[in-house]
């Protein structure tokens, strides 16, 4: 068979995705495999089993990243694909998993066709991409590519009071492969768009040119608990009111700035949380993103100065902690051009676009030529059990991935 006619088996790919989705399955669809949970362990075991069945040499590093290598006819840095298999609590079955399972499908397609590539190939999944249990997000890939210190990551405490290093030991995924020095020849991550653009336009392939900047901040506001019936309004120091005003301001800033600026107050917890008690504590998070670093800094400055002022007006204390901060990332033109060329050669419609979500690929971009392939998400829904991508769109994206990998592995 000529290499240019080679295609993946879409049914086999979808079957593996659905098998993985049974682990941590949620009522009504989707799944919950929070990083380093028991469900994450079971999902990891399943994917590692597939890697071994496909003949990959599996290694695990000190933060639990898993890499399966397929030898090439020559040694050297591998052409690497991958993503993550952890999910948010309300996760769909495609986010992250698609990039890993599509990588396995590329390997199986080459195995079945008896093709040995010149360069080695690698399929990887990285620990805690989501950051939903332990911040920052992209934790495993950041450690892997030398942007986050291993010991610092292992010491992170999660939203449930657990510690990364201890949870990693519990699930038996603390390996001995070194972190920080692995360099791929190039990195390609296939992912669902998680936004509405491709689906709305009926475009098959998103050629991702970069990832927008991400700023995650935790704010803890201290007020004074008092009786809800007897405390005059002028004498209140209400932590919940301060946090509510900050949440509303975050949205106003994003609306006022327009463009690509987005803002989300995803966590708001007030204590003591009783009907007749003025709240004395609020913990909240704000997620700010923009494709332009200068504008992202403006959004941060506006939000932080508002937060300080509204807390001071209420007589409340306020503490601020950065949970994650990533500047916008540009992908390599040689990679985006190749993805576009291959997609067009397969008669697929394409559009160039930035990624609104964070991805492991952004940790590779400074160290090797990197890019991403997006496929449509129905109605742009993600981080939601309703997340869905049509099997035909998955197959099309995986065929683009296959031929990008082949071209990079032979060149």
Contacts with ligand GLV, residue ranges (CB under 6 A): 130, 137, 357-358
CB of 357 to ligand GLV, least distance (A): 4
Q: Which two tokens stand for residue 91?
A: 């996760």
Contacts of 303-307 with CB under 8 Å at 24 or more apart are 303/217, 303/246, 303/249, 303/250, 303/253, 303/263, 304/217, 306/246, 306/249, 306/253, 307/219, 307/242, 307/246, 307/249
Binding partner of 358, given ligand GLV, Mn ion, none, CB within 5-8 angstroms per partner class:
ligand GLV
Is residue 96 close enough to count as binding Mn ion by CB under 5 A?
yes
Shorter beta-carbon distance to ligand GLV: residue 329 or 348: 329
In a 13 Å sphere around the CA of 304, the CA atoms on its Cβ side amount to: 15
CB of 88 to ligand GLV, least distance (A): 7
CB of 31 to ligand GLV, least distance (A): 14
**Three-class SS state of 196:** coil
Binding partner of 387, given ligand GLV, Mn ion, none, CB within 5-8 angstroms per partner class:
none
Dihedral sign of CA atoms 144, 148, 154, 156 in order? negative
CB of 129 to Mn ion, least distance (A): 6
DSSP structural state of residue 25: B
Shorter beta-carbon distance to ligand GLV: residue 83 or 336: 83
CA distances from residue 381 to 20, 40, 349, 353, 384 in whole angstroms, order as listed: 20, 23, 21, 17, 7
Binding partner of 78, given ligand GLV, Mn ion, none, CB within 5-8 angstroms per partner class:
none
Q: Which of 349, 337, 338 is nearest to 405 (CA)?
A: 338
How far apart are the C-alpha atoms of 404 and 234, rounded to whole Å?
Answer: 65
Cα–Cα–Cα angle for 150, 155, 159, nearest 5°? 125
Is residue 95 close enough to count as binding Mn ion by CB under 5 A?
yes
CB of 315 to ligand GLV, least distance (A): 34
HEC string for 292-314: CHHHHHHHHHHHHHHHHHHHHHH
CB of 142 to ligand GLV, least distance (A): 13
| Torsion angle (degrees, nearest 10) of CA 47, 51, 52, 53 | 90
The stretch near Mn ion (CB under 5 A) out of 89-97, 163-171, 347-355, 384-392 is 89-97
Shorter beta-carbon distance to Mn ion: residue 3 or 262: 262
Shorter beta-carbon distance to Mn ion: residue 281 or 383: 383
Binding partner of 137, given ligand GLV, Mn ion, none, CB within 5-8 angstroms per partner class:
ligand GLV
Binding partner of 254, given Mn ion, ligand GLV, none, CB within 5-8 angstroms per partner class:
none
State the burial class of residue 118 (Cβ atoms within 10 Å of its Cβ: 0-12, 13-18, 19+).
middle
Shorter beta-carbon distance to ligand GLV: residue 158 or 358: 358
Residues 6+ positions from 15 with CB-CB distance below 8 Å: none
Shorter beta-carbon distance to ligand GLV: residue 78 or 356: 356
DSSP structural state of residue 133: S
Residues facing 325 on adjacent strands: 215
Shorter beta-carbon distance to Mn ion: residue 96 or 136: 96
CB of 358 to ligand GLV, least distance (A): 4
CB of 137 to ligand GLV, least distance (A): 5
Binding partner of 199, given Mn ion, ligand GLV, none, CB within 5-8 angstroms per partner class:
none
CB of 336 to ligand GLV, least distance (A): 20
CA distances from residue 264 to 251, 289, 319 in whole angstroms, order as listed: 7, 9, 18
The stretch near Mn ion (CB under 5 A) out of 54-62, 95-103, 153-161, 287-295 is 95-103
The stretch near Mn ion (CB under 5 A) out of 27-35, 96-104, 134-142, 247-255 is 96-104
Binding footprint of Mn ion on the chain (CB under 5 A)? 95-96
């Amino acid at each position: 068979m000529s290499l240019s006619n080679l295609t993946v088996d879409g049914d086999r790919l979808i079957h593996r995705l659905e098998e993985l989705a049974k682990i941590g399955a949620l009522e009504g669809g989707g799944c919950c495999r929070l990083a380093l949970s028991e469900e994450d362990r079971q999902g990891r075991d399943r994917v590692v089993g597939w890697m071994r069945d496909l003949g990959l040499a599996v290694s695990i590093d000190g933060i639990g990243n898993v890499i399966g290598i397929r030898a090439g006819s020559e040694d050297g840095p591998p052409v690497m694909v991958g993503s993550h298999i952890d999910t948010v609590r309300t996760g769909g079955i495609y986010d992250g998993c698609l990039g890993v399972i599509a990588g396995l499908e590329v390997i199986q397609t080459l195995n079945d066709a008896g093709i040995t590539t010149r360069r080695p190939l690698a399929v990887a999944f990285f620990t805690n991409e989501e950051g939903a249990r332990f911040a920052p997000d992209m934790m495993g890939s950041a450690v892997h590519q030398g942007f986050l210190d291993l010991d610092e990551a292992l010491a992170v405490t999660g939203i449930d009071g657990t510690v990364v290093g201890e949870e990693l030991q519990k699930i038996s995924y603390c390996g001995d492969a070194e972190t920080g020095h692995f360099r791929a020849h190039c990195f390609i991550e296939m992912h669902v768009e998680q936004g509405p653009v491709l689906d709305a336009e009926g475009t098959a392939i998103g050629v991702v040119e970069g990832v927008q900047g991400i700023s995650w901040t935790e704010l803890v506001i201290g007020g004074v608990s008092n009786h809800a019936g007897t405390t005059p309004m002028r004498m209140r120091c209400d932590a919940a009111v301060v946090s509510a005003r900050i949440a509303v301001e975050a949205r106003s800033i994003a609306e006022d700035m327009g463009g690509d600026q987005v803002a989300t107050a995803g966590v708001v917890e007030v204590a003591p949380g009783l009907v007749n008690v003025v709240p004395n504590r609020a913990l909240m998070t704000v997620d700010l993103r923009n494709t332009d670093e200068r504008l992202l800094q403006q959004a941060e400055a506006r939000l932080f100065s508002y937060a300080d002022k509204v807390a001071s007006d209420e007589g409340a204390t306020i503490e601020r902690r950065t949970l994650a901060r990533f500047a916008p990332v540009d992908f390599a033109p040689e990679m985006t051009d190749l993805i576009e060329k291959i997609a067009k050669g397969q008669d697929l419609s394409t559009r160039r676009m930035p990624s609104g979500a964070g991805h492991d690929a952004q940790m590779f971009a400074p160290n090797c030529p990197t890019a991403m392939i997006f496929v449509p998400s129905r109605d742009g829904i993600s981080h939601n059990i309703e997340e869905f991508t049509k099997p035909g769109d998955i197959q099309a994206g995986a065929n683009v991935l296959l031929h990008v990998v082949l071209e990079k592995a032979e060149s």
